[in-house]
Structure 1
Amino acid sequence: MFEKRIGELRKLMTEKGMDAVLLVGDCNRNYLSGFTGNESFSVITNDKAFFITDSRFTEQARQQVKDYEVVQYNKGTSFHDFLGELVKNNNIKKLGFEEDIISVATYNIYKSKVQCELVPMEGMVEKIRLVKDESELQLIKKAAEIADKAFDHMLKFIKVGMTEREIGLELEFYMKKLGASDLSFPSIVASGVRSSLPHGEATEKVVNKGEFLTLDYGCIYKGYCSDMTRTIVIGEPSEKMIEVYNVVLEAQERALKAYKPEVPAIEVDGVARGYITEKGYGDYFGHSLGHGVGRQIHEAPVVGYRNAQKLKSGMVVTDEPGIYIPGFGGVRIEDLLVITESGSEVLSKSTKKLICID
């Protein structure tokens, strides 16, 4: 599996005339190696792969990383000096680096220590990560399953008078109890007028009857994320609340049918956005319809009104339209799905019917 991924990277390296690439970010490095730790580096050339770490992670690396030469460097030695020697000894003339991860200060140190041309990778590994293989899909499906089970649990747990923070903490605890290693992102728990905040993290606000409660959350399972949003009502909804909810639900389900391979992302976004606009709420839907999910909670492709990139089978994306009305509240409904050869498979199984909790 990792050998295949490295092979794909080497093809891109050849196209760009790179002799090697340096990976310092946990996400890309671990994707190409299987390592689950941090504070390590990898250098991949056209015929070799070096995994560089210190004594804290050497044993772990030797157990987990099979397609690399594991090299331990002395903590008394600067990694930059070590890298300079490795570049020299392997006759590397053109070295790719992750320009969106390495700071300007670190880049300047590299320039002074590494005697070769430094070239931005421009998302080379991210391009490989766009389409998930079967092993990745199984882990994402498990993460989505945990999120679904957590929603069922929360429907029994949530009561009038609880704070958003209490709800968020229980949500986190329950997903970790089911095997999640962490949250995909800080859970969004927003009630009442705060539900008009697309990223309203939990506060000490008490949930009351007659309010929306939006739960947007996910978990990490063995390095892969899930993402799901459901909006429920505490008590009885008003006619306006029902109307807004139904508009979002219809937009979300129309978009689901549009998720197919070779369809430009902008077209899928337009299906949901067009319907919401038609119903008079276009000004209250400002964000993109969706985004890629994998080792990171937000990754390519962006399913939005500025991205003409075509969807491919194996991409994992979200479908999450919303309406956010200041002073009133908001609704977002989000499913996680994988693009298939003929359409899409929805990974989020939780009901989307309007649920009211007494």
Structure 2
Amino acid sequence: LDAILFWSLENIRYLCGFTGSDGALIWGVEERVFLSDSRYEEQAKAEVKAAVFQKYRKKVEGVAQRLRAMKVKRLGFEAPVLSWETHRRLSGLLPRVCLVPLSGEIAGLRARKTPEEIGKIRRAVDIASQSFRDLLPRVKAGAREKTLADFLEIRMKRRGGEDPSFPTIVASGYRGALPHGKASEKKLERRDLTVIDFGTRYEGYHSDETKTLILGRPDPLQKKIYDLVRRAQEKALAAVRPGASVRRIDAAAREVISRAGYGKFFGHGTGHGIGLAVHEAPNLSPRGSGAVKEGMVFSIEPGIYLPGWGGVRLEDLVRVTGRGCEVLTYLSKDLKDNIV
């Protein structure tokens, strides 16, 4: 390849430092160029460190013009990001350039975090965790899911978060069976299991954590499901070490749940990488590939979701160390600490 065209804002920020909302980065063998329009000219001049800046009036045409000037013949591009329409237009403007799709080859570009990146994730975790503690006194029968989600998001911003990592999930009672259940007007009821999935962004880096609370003394089935998910999470955490395959870590959690007869109620992967994006490499699932490496940061989040009854998910973030892992999130997942 003569160059790679980066279109995703996360990779652009990672490689050259630009934090705005539009642009493209050409990463050549000898020449690196960041391109954007006049709205970001001053910002780019202040932020971009590893590339020269070029302004365009029209994005695709401006990128094509620069590629012609660089005499690029074989161009890699982010296949999961670049739209078919943009690809078609680039192909038309660059008939002599061979466009080479890249996916797995660059999927792990940001997977191993530097100490500076890990520090920002820790700060995001701290903001979110302290905000969750602010929320706890409000988690009671009669409170509406959406009211709780709104309060938590406001607290995270007031404590220094840039934005929520994603719309905060509060799913109580039977709605806990929705893994990504949007907070609704439903009121929490006594004895409800309540799944709360939350996170914030700090200097571009995200946190992500899930707690499941029980409003009152748990009944036998609630205790059984909660303890089962907790054991599955502990097994997966114990399996994390440099060189461990992502499928093996997933299997460590999945086997606990499957052996208890609830395998079909755990439908998602055990974890995902996190950083400049909420979901990035590695992918810890039965379909994932590769092994984890020191410096990677990802979630461990098994769950069981029973339609019409509710669900339990427990999620922590971990950093792979030289011998195992460090859990970055610190709110307790033990059952006794999650009865409110």
| TM-score bucket of the superposed structures, by smaller chain | over 0.9
- What is the rounded CA distance, in whole Å, between the counterparts of 2:55 and 2:251 in structure 1? 51
In the TM superposition, residue 122 of structure 1 has moved relative to its aligned partner by 2.1
Mapped contact 2:283–2:289 kept (Cα < 8 A): no
Residue 63 (structure 2) pairs with residue 88 (structure 1): no
Tell me which of 96, 106, 111 is aligned to 2:86: 106
Is the CA contact (8 Å cut-off) linking 1:209 and 1:235 kept in structure 2? yes
Please tell me whether the aligned partners of residues 36 and 59 of structure 2 are also in contact (alpha carbons under 8 angstroms). Answer: no
2:261 matches 1:280: yes
Aligned to 2:130: 149
Contact 1:180–1:221 (CA under 8 A) maintained in structure 2: yes
What CA deviation, in whole Å up to 9, does each residue of 1:103-138 have, x standing for no partner?
111111111112411111224443221111111111
Whole-angstrom CA distance in 2 between matches of 1:211 and 1:200: 15
Partner residue in 1 for 2:278: 297
Equivalent position of 1:30 in the other structure: 13
Q: Could you list the per-position Cα deviations for residues 121-165 of structure 1 after superposition, in whole angstroms to 9, with x for gaps in the alignment?
A: 224443221111111111111111122112211212222211100
Given that residues 60 and 86 in structure 2 are in contact (C-alpha distance below 8 angstroms), is that contact kept between their aligned partners in structure 1? no
State the match for 2:35 in structure 1.
52
Residues 1:345 and 2:326 aligned together: yes
Counterpart of 1:140 in structure 2: which amino acid? I
Work out whether residues 23 and 34 of structure 2, in 8 Å CA contact, stay in contact via their aligned partners in 1.
yes
Question: Residue 4 of structure 2 corresponds to which residue in structure 1?
Answer: 21
Which residue among 39, 44, 49 is the counterpart of 1:66? 49
> 1:120 matched to which residue of 2?
101
Q: Tell me the CA shift for residue 80 of structure 1.
A: 2.9
Task: Kindly provide the CA deviation profile for residues 58-100 of structure 1, in whole angstroms up to 9, marking residues without a partner as x.
Answer: 1011111122111122x3xx33332232222211111111221
SS at match of 2:136: helix
Cα pair distance change 1:123/1:34, threshold 3 Å:
farther
- Alpha-carbon distance between aligned partners in 2 of 1:279 and 1:330, rounded to the nearest angstrom: 15
Runs of 4+, deviation exceeding 6 Å: none
- Match for residue 24 of structure 2 among 33, 41, 44: 41
Shift of 1:305: 1.9
Secondary structure of 2:107's counterpart equals helix
- SS at 1:175's partner residue? helix
Residue 220 of structure 1, CA deviation: 1.1
Residue 236 of structure 1 aligns with which residue?
217
For residues 300 and 342 of structure 1, the distance between their equivalents in structure 2, rounded to whole angstroms, comes to 20
Aligned residue number for residue 146 of structure 2: 165
For residues 273-328 of structure 1, give each alpha carbon's deviation from its aligned partner in whole angstroms, at most 9, with x where no partner exists.
Answer: 11112223222212111111111111111111233421111111111111111121
Assess, with a 3 A threshold, how the Cα gap between structure 1 residues 122 and 284 changes in structure 2: closer, same or farther: closer
Q: What does the per-residue CA deviation read over 1:196-242, in whole Å, with 9 as the maximum and x for residues that have no partner?
A: 11111100000010110100111111111111000001122212111
Listed as ranges, the gaps of 5+ residues in structure 1 are: 1-17
Distance 1:44 1:207 in 2: 52
Give me the whole-angstrom Cα distance separating, in 1, the residues matched to 2:62 and 2:320: 43
TM-score of the two chains, using structure 1 as the length reference: 0.91
Matched ranges for 1:202-217 at <5 A: 202-217=183-198
Write the letter of the residue equivalent to 2:93. K
Match of 1:13 in 2: none
Match of 2:251 in 1: 270
The amino acid that maps onto 1:23 is F
Q: Deviations over 1:7-37 (max 9, x none)?
A: xxxxxxxxxxx11111222111111111110
What secondary structure is seen at the aligned counterpart in 2 of 1:352? coil
Match of 1:11 in 2: none
Taking structure 2 as the reference length, the TM-score comes to 0.95
| Count of paired positions | 337
Alpha-carbon separation, structure 2, partners of 1:82 and 1:198: 42
| Distance in 2, Cα, partners of 1:249 & 1:228 | 14
Q: Distance in 2 between matches of 1:204 and 1:35?
A: 39
One-letter identity of the residue aligned with 2:13: N
RMSD, aligned α-carbons: 1.4
| Structure 2 runs not aligned, ≥5 long | none
